[in-house]
A and B are shown apart, each in its own frame.
Chain A
Amino acid sequence: MSKLGLITKREYLTRVKKKSFLLATFLTPLAFGLIIFLSGYFASQMGESEQSIVIADANNIIKQYPIEDKNLTIDFSDELIDSLKKNYINNGYDMLIHLPKFDNIESNKFNVNYYSKEKLGIAKIEKLERSIGKSLKSFKLENSSIDKVEYDKLRTNVILENALLAEKDSDIEGDRSSKFSSGIATALSYGMGFMMYMVIFIFGGMVMRSVMEEKLNRIVEVIVSTVKPFQLMLGKLLGVGAVGLTQLIIWMILFSIISMIAGSYFGGDTSSITGMDAQQTAEMMKQLEDEEGFSVTSLLNEIKALNWLLILPTFIIFFLGGYFIYSSLFAAVGSAISEDMGEAQQFMLPISIPVIIAIIMVPAVMGNPNGPLAVFGSMFPLLSPILMPARLPFDPPLWQVLISTLILIASVIFFVWLAGRIYRVGIFMHGKKISFKELAKWIRYKY
């Protein structure tokens, strides 16, 4: 076996054979599931706290047109507001709402006061504003000359649907995804973008620690007397990268098994993963219209409808590209440090900044997945490993994917080369604090 092969194999096997690898591989998806479940659970718990309210309504409207909120226990009081203000807490209420007498019933503005034991959240205030507004509207409607039936006719619910969903003629070009699928695409974008973010820091950190370990414990001197420093660094990048790829592939297999099991359990069609024709999609849309059909089956079908043939290979390419770019930078940093992790901080910050910028850009990119910001972000090599995968579920033009991939590959070569130049000097530097200026000098050294 070649020396590069030996190094790669060692880097790979020592990590994969560890128990912590198995744990991380199988527990991470569980942890993710748990996080999703918990955030859903907490969201559903939001505003569940029950409150009792006393309303002093000088116009006596709310009693006739009651507020519908199952979390509120509402009492009405005719007491004078001045004594009510003082007593509402003692009387066991959380809040007092005071609707003063109308000056002008036709006014579009009405000031309502509240007194509350606790500070109210903005969501709660808006909800109450809407509820009271609704009651007042019903009251005003009844007392106006407008006919309720006529009024209701004014309302129009516009539903914007993708016509190509139902189109049988496959010659017509255009996007065939539903509104619902945009939601799934968004979730997938976030998922992939966030995963890249984790990959960069987890595996980049792994590479950095490994370089530091070899340098600080001086075994690097023994190794580089038999192989070139660049080979050692490259072997490490390849070995750790293979660990990441192994993990990714296991997750993909797990995911497809789970969705297959879920699919057959919920009676969905699992025969095709790559896509479905318009008719199927249309059927599914019909299902969607029915509120009950908005279920696991339709979710699974939508997931299957994504262009996985483009998404999966491209994601793997950007996964590896992002990994190589950032890990080689981390390797360079690891080689430059001579004592402890504290020194690493100053170098890690500039590496982290583009990653964080990319993560911040994800929502904007998804909001307009083919806009100029998205196109730029998915081309620029320090951002593209996060932003291109984020664009993938929105069917970006193929030529953009290809150009971005080419830029990515060229950048990988450049960054690995650059890191190699720093690494070969760094691993022999001891007891000296290194500045950025120094790093730049190392790149130009002949060795």
Chain B
Amino acid sequence: MSILSLQNVVKQYHNHRAVDGVSFDIPKGSIFGLLGPNGAGKTSLIRIITTITGADSGKVYLDGNPINADSPKFIGYMPEERGLYKKMKVGEQLLYLAQLRGMNKNEAKSAILYWLEKFDNKDWWNKKIEELSKGMQQKIQFIATVMHKPKILILDEPFTGLDPLNTNLMKEEINQMNQQGTSIIFSTHRMEQVEEICKDIVLINQGKKILEGKVDEIKNQHKNNLFRIEFDGSFPKDLLNSDFQLVEDTPEYVLIKVSANHNSNELLRALIAKGIQIKSFTEVLPSLNEIFIKLVEK
């Protein structure tokens, strides 16, 4: 069952097509990476999902239902560029945003108190936003995003501008929410962040989906049969031929590319036959960044 399902979504802005027939499904309870370089159409897609704008054509289903005016209640959205009313007090502000999300005053109040307590900041209620440090403000922003217990959390570049301490705190909270059943969409152009957090991703470029699937499967599909070998002594150059190519040669290790009609065992056997003392032998999988660049350049 998917929490969010996009079917052939198209969004045209005057002279460019920001979203061009994108379809994908986000499994319930997953941490899902929405990837793409700047200007790929991520924000346009998110704005469609969050009902800020409407798609020109195509369908979006949230938890099985077409998105509608009620959908924002179930969505927590933290835009890339964050902001709060600087002159408003923390409590008032959160209460206002919660009510806009459809909570009633009492629900909202207890949810806010719960979160403030969780961050050890119960006495912030009457503080103005401008009196808080940047890190504190980001915590308030996070509370504003999650206090209405959304089914799906959409975080657009959530770690930009966070110090390592707050990045960790945010990651922990995201994981905790996920464990409690909240699905999470994590939108970023920084692929390396995704590899450690997301299991599933979709990669878009110039409004089109170019890749979709589980991170490890994608990496396997795009692997180059590269192996990293650490050993004692010098590398027997006579081993190299069109099947086993030397890609990188360093004092510590070598990188060997095995041609498609051979496999790692054959390389290993050949190495052993040469009497080399092997210390480690690992397959090198491409990073999402490399896969992305490869796909885009194609």
Given A3-B100, A225-B75, A226-B101, A14 and B87 touching (CB < 8 A)? Answer: yes
Q: What distance in Å separates the Cβ of A184 from its nearest Cβ neighbour in chain B?
A: 43
Q: Mark contacts of B1-31 with chain A using CB atoms, 8 A cut-off: 1 yes-contact digit, 0 otherwise.
A: 0000000000001100000000000000000
The answer on a CB contact under 8 Å between A225 and B96 is: no
Give CA–CA (A223, B144) in the complex, Å: 11
Checking B53, B75, B86, B99 against A447 with a beta-carbon cut-off of 8 angstroms, the contacting residue is B53
Interface residue tally for chain B (C-beta within 8 Å): 29
The answer on a CB contact under 8 Å between A225 and B83 is: no
- Considering only CB atoms, which chain A residue lies closest to B87 in the complex? A14
The answer on a CB contact under 8 Å between A225 and B51 is: yes
The answer on a CB contact under 8 Å between B100 and A218 is: no
Interface of A is mostly: helix
Give CA–CA (A221, B78) in the complex, Å: 9
In the complex, what residues of B have CB within 8 A of residue A6's CB?
96, 99-100
In the complex, what residues of B have CB within 8 A of residue A10's CB?
96
In the complex, what residues of B have CB within 8 A of residue A14's CB?
85, 87-88
**Which B23-50 residues have a C-beta within 8 angstroms of A?**
47, 50
- Considering only CB atoms, which chain B residue lies closest to A9 in the complex? B96
In the complex, what residues of A have CB within 8 A of residue B97's CB?
222-223, 226
In the complex, what residues of A have CB within 8 A of residue B85's CB?
14, 213-214, 217, 219
The answer on a CB contact under 8 Å between B81 and A221 is: yes
In the complex, what residues of A have CB within 8 A of residue B84's CB?
217, 219
Given A10-B96, A14-B87, A217-B84, A225 and B72 touching (CB < 8 A)? Answer: yes
Q: What distance in Å separates the Cβ of B227 from its nearest Cβ neighbour in chain A?
A: 46
Give CA–CA (A447, B144) in the complex, Å: 26
Give CA–CA (A3, B51) in the complex, Å: 15
The answer on a CB contact under 8 Å between A218 and B83 is: yes
- Considering only CB atoms, which chain B residue lies closest to A444 in the complex? B14
Checking B14, B47, B83, B87 against A222 with a beta-carbon cut-off of 8 angstroms, the contacting residue is B83
Give CA–CA (A446, B144) in the complex, Å: 30
Q: Check: B213 CB closer than 8 A to any chain A CB.
A: no
Q: Mark contacts of A209-234 with chain B using CB atoms, 8 A cut-off: 1 yes-contact digit, 0 otherwise.
A: 00001100111111111110000000
The answer on a CB contact under 8 Å between B77 and A225 is: yes
Give CA–CA (A352, B40) in the complex, Å: 41
- Considering only CB atoms, which chain A residue lies closest to B50 in the complex? A225
Give CA–CA (A240, B77) in the complex, Å: 28
**Which A64-103 residues have a C-beta within 8 angstroms of B?**
none
- Considering only CB atoms, which chain A residue lies closest to B13 in the complex? A445
In the complex, what residues of A have CB within 8 A of residue B87's CB?
14
Give CA–CA (A276, B13) in the complex, Å: 65
Q: What distance in Å separates the Cβ of B176 from its nearest Cβ neighbour in chain A?
A: 22
Sorted nearest first, the 3 A-B pairs with minimum C-beta distance are A217-B83, A218-B83, A221-B79
Residues of B near any A CB (own CB < 8 A): 13-14, 47, 50-54, 56, 72, 75, 77-79, 81-88, 96-97, 99-102, 144
A sample of 14 more A-B contacts (CB under 8 A), given A225-B79, A226-B100, is A6-B96, A6-B99, A14-B85, A14-B87, A217-B83, A218-B81, A218-B82, A221-B83, A223-B100, A225-B52, A226-B72, A226-B97, A227-B100, A428-B47
